[in-house]
Every structure is written in structure tokens, then in C-alpha cells.
């Protein structure tokens, strides 16, 4: 039986190369009702990226206008580019009882945790098993120069320093296991009493049945 419940905001953060995007995709394959929060960014698209799918690609002026109008739930500068989560789709999704998945950095995580939506947040930090493995995964993409990789490694160090701000921390040594652990987190968080707003009606009905049976 499906009870009415409040949607949760699943914030997934990790240094780049820790396997966060794969994890996000696998989570949405497991439950297609989970909505992905497509961020806006001023960084140029990478090969294969599509406007509106991975990101909404914006000019700096367009982005700053959105911020001024209060249209961003959070925003931050990463590697000299602006990134932000548009507010409207998130509010619409949780009002409809859908969960929303965010692939954002620690700065964004902090802002959403400190917003009016704090109660709805479930934050997960993904650690790599080692720094050697992190670097290997960054190089395996084969898209970036040594200089870019060095900058990403530095950003990774900064990102990892925020691990203790998250509700859950998992180590992505084996992707299947990390996916299973993430599903377990989401399943348990959905079952929290405070999120199952439909429980009051159900228990009222159960009590009415007791009355009928004169228990
Ligand atoms: P990339 O350029 O590699 O896609 O992303 C760089 C970093 O920006 C990643 O750590 C990613 O999680 C983060 N990021 C992507 N979208 C957002 C966003 O909307 N807000 C924030 N704060 N970070 C984001």
C-alpha cells in the first residue's frame, strides 16, 4: 500500500572521480520517479552534454539575473564557473510527493541544509577508496589536461574536508555495493514517520475498524 508522503531532497556530493554520476544514474534507474535536479552552469558544455539534460548552459549575465530574482535554491562558484540549482522544479517535485536528487558540491549542500527545506534533506557524501584511485578515475576520462587534473585534485581535497557535514558517508570501492547502500538509505529515509503524512489517515481507519469489531 502506497501512503502519501513528503518528497525528500537527496544531496549527493563527492570529489570528482569518486563515481557520483554513475551512482546518481543507477539510483534513478532503480526508481524512475526520482527527479534529477538539472543545474544551471556558466561552464561550456563537454562533448556529449545536452542543454537541459546534464545542465542548463547559461551566460554569466543570465545566471546572475536568475540569482538576483531569487530563482536559485543555492549557487556556488566551482573552478571559476557558476553552478546553481533552479528552485521552481524542486518545489514542484516535492509538492507532488516526488524525491529530488542533487549532484552538487559541499557549498550547495550547505546552503540547502540551511534553507527552509532543511527538514526534507538527506545528504550523502561519497568517498573514493584512495587518492590514487581518484586520480586514476579522473585520468581515465581522457578529457582533461594535466593542469586541469591537478586543479580537480585540489578541489577534491577541499571537497573531502567537508565529509563530516553529511548525514551519510559511503565509500565507493565497488559500485554495485555503493548503489545498494544508497538505495537502503533512500528506503529508510522515506519510511521516517515525519515524512509519512498519510499515516494519520491510515491509523484513523484502522481504529474505525476496531470500533466496528467492538474491540
Ligand atoms: P562538473 O563541471 O564536473 O560537471 O561539476 C563540477 C562540480 O560542480 C561538481 O562537484 C558538481 O557536483 C558541482 N555542481 C554541479 N551542479 C551544481 C550546482 O547546481 N550547485 C553546486 N553548488 N554545485 C554544483
CB of 110 shorter than 6 A to ligand 1 = no
CB of 38 shorter than 6 A to ligand 1 = no
CB of 103 shorter than 6 A to ligand 1 = yes
Nearest alpha carbon, ligand 1 atom 22: 108
pLDDT > 90 fraction of the chain, expressed in percent and rounded: 87
Ligand 1: residue of 85, 105, 143 to mutate (most ligand atoms within 8 A of CB) is: 105
SS (H, E, C) the chain: CCCCCCCCEEEEECCCCCCHHHHHHHHHHHCCCCEECCEEECCCCCCCCCECCCEEECCHHHHHHHHHCCCEEEEEEECCEEEEEEHHHHHHHHHCCCCEEEECCHHHHHHHHCCCCHHHEEEEEEECCCHHHHHHHHHHCCCCCHHHHHHHHHHHHHHHCCHHHCCEEEECCCHHHHHHHHHHHHHHHHCCHHHCCCHHHHHHHHHHHHHHCCC
pLDDT at position 207 over 90: yes
Ligand 1: residue of 78, 115, 121 to mutate (most ligand atoms within 8 A of CB) is: 78
pLDDT digits (tens, 9 = 90+) for 114-171: 999 999 999 999 999 999 999 998 898 777 889 989 988 999 999 999 999 999 999 9
Q: Which atom of ligand 1 is nearest to the CA of 103?
A: 12
Question: Distance from the CA of 16 to the center of ligand 1, in angstroms?
Answer: 9
Question: Quick one: pLDDT at residue 81?
Answer: 96
Domains of the chain with CATH codes: 9-37+97-213 (3.40.50.300)
Amino acid at each position: 500500500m502506497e501512503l502519501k508522503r513528503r518528497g525528500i531532497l537527496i544531496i549527493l556530493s563527492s570529489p570528482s572521480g569518486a563515481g557520483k554520476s554513475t551512482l546518481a544514474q543507477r539510483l534513478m534507474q532503480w526508481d524512475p520517479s526520482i527527479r534529477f535536479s538539472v543545474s544551471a552552469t556558466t561552464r561550456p558544455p563537454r562533448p556529449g552534454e545536452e542543454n537541459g539534460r546534464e545542465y542548463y548552459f547559461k551566460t554569466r549575465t543570465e545566471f546572475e539575473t536568475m540569482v538576483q530574482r531569487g530563482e536559485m535554491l543555492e549557487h556556488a562558484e566551482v573552478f571559476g564557473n557558476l553552478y546553481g540549482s533552479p528552485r521552481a522544479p524542486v518545489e514542484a517535485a516535492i509538492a507532488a510527493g516526488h524525491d529530488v536528487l542533487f549532484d552538487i558540491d559541499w557549498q550547495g549542500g550547505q546552503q540547502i541544509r540551511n534553507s527552509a527545506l532543511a527538514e526534507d534533506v538527506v545528504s550523502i557524501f561519497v568517498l573514493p577508496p584512495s587518492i590514487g584511485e581518484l586520480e586514476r578515475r579522473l585520468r581515465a576520462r581522457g578529457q582533461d589536461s594535466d593542469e586541469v587534473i591537478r586543479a580537480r585534485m585540489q578541489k577534491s581535497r577541499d571537497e573531502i574536508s567537508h565529509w563530516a557535514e553529511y548525514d551519510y558517508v559511503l565509500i565507493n570501492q565497488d559500485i554495485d555495493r555503493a548503489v545498494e547502500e544508497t538505495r537502503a538509505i533512500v528506503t529508510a529515509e522515506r519510511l521516517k514517520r515525519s515524512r509519512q503524512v498519510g499515516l494519520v489517515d491510515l491509523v484513523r481507519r484502522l481504529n474505525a475498524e476496531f470500533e466496528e469489531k467492538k474491540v
